[in-house]
Amino acid sequence: MEVGLIGLGRMGANMAIRLRRGGHRVIVYNRTVAKAHELATEHDLIAADSLADLVAMLTPPRVVWLMLPAGAATDEHLATLIPLLTPGDIVVDGANNNYKASIAHAEQLTAHGLRFLDAGVSGGIWGLQVGYCLMIGGDEETFRFVEPLLQTLAPPEGYLLCGPHGAGHFVKMIHNGIEYGMMQAYAEGFEILRQSRYDFDLAKISHLWNQGSVVRSWLLELAERAFTADADLSGIRGYVEDSGEGRWTVQESIDLDVPAPIITLSLQMRFRSRQEDSFSAKVLAALRQQFGGHAVKKAE
């Protein structure tokens, strides 16, 4: 097949390379045009200097895959693309967009005779090597048309039409919410190990747990890599961002009256990581001192 891929960040660039290695004709565009040309030169891709240029290089029905930040960047590119495309063309949104925005995008494109798929993409920087897990929302016919691309991007059995428009990004949202909870559990467990009376080698513990234990996972493999490189993680600060999907998962649980205490608390702990010194923790310490006479640590 041929595909136009827009957005050459950490995942988009690697996806373009994997698609080309799979034999597809790949036209790439990036807001920083020089990056598209550099990548094209290195990996036998075709660089476009503008969105209009990219569209002109594709044969109808075109497939245009967006790997852009969710929100304004995706909205702006869609607004520019719509008048350039012709009825029957397909737009795939691989951003971590809110599923409600994806439903709106589907309606927007359908009104112009265009087809749309929302694609939840998981795999991070390792996707080039091991493939991407793809969670797709849309109609069966459009899904089947782009399936050769999905087969190249994903590992065996690594892609699925999850449901109608919005379903792909909904599944990816919940995937990321679960990821928050798993990461938080590992983080707390390793901190207890580190603070214990024993001098544990956390890299070796990580490796051990991946040999048949109930908690084995790819995240543990990554933990082993991190601890091997820096046993105390002294080179990094414990500041953790959230991409938005954890928040959306928590909000969805509220809207659906579904209890999700683990995911909710893991999101809250990410907020806590961004504080140099939590005022709420100061209040807790002050209250304990007031009612029980408990000692407090003086601020430096």
Q: Tokens for 47? A: 């660089």
| Separation of alpha carbons 118 and 33, rounded Å | 25
Distance separating alpha carbons of residues 241 and 66, to the nearest angstrom: 23
To the query of whether residue 179 is one of the catalytic residues in this protein, the response is yes
Active site residue 282: no
Given the residues 172, 224, 245, 252, select the one marked as catalytic.
172
| CA 72 vs CA 69, 76, 153, 165: distances in Å | 8, 6, 26, 20
From the list 76, 179, 276, 298, the catalytic residue is 179
Sequence letter at residue 57: M
- State the sign of the Cα–Cα–Cα–Cα dihedral 23, 29, 32, 38: positive
What is the C-alpha end-to-end distance of the chain, expressed in Å?
63
Give the span between the Cα atoms of 54 and 51, in whole angstroms: 5
Query: Cα torsion for 33, 34, 39, 40, to the nearest 10°?
Result: 70
Are 171 and 96 a contacting pair, CB within 8 Å?
no
Return the active site residues: 172, 179
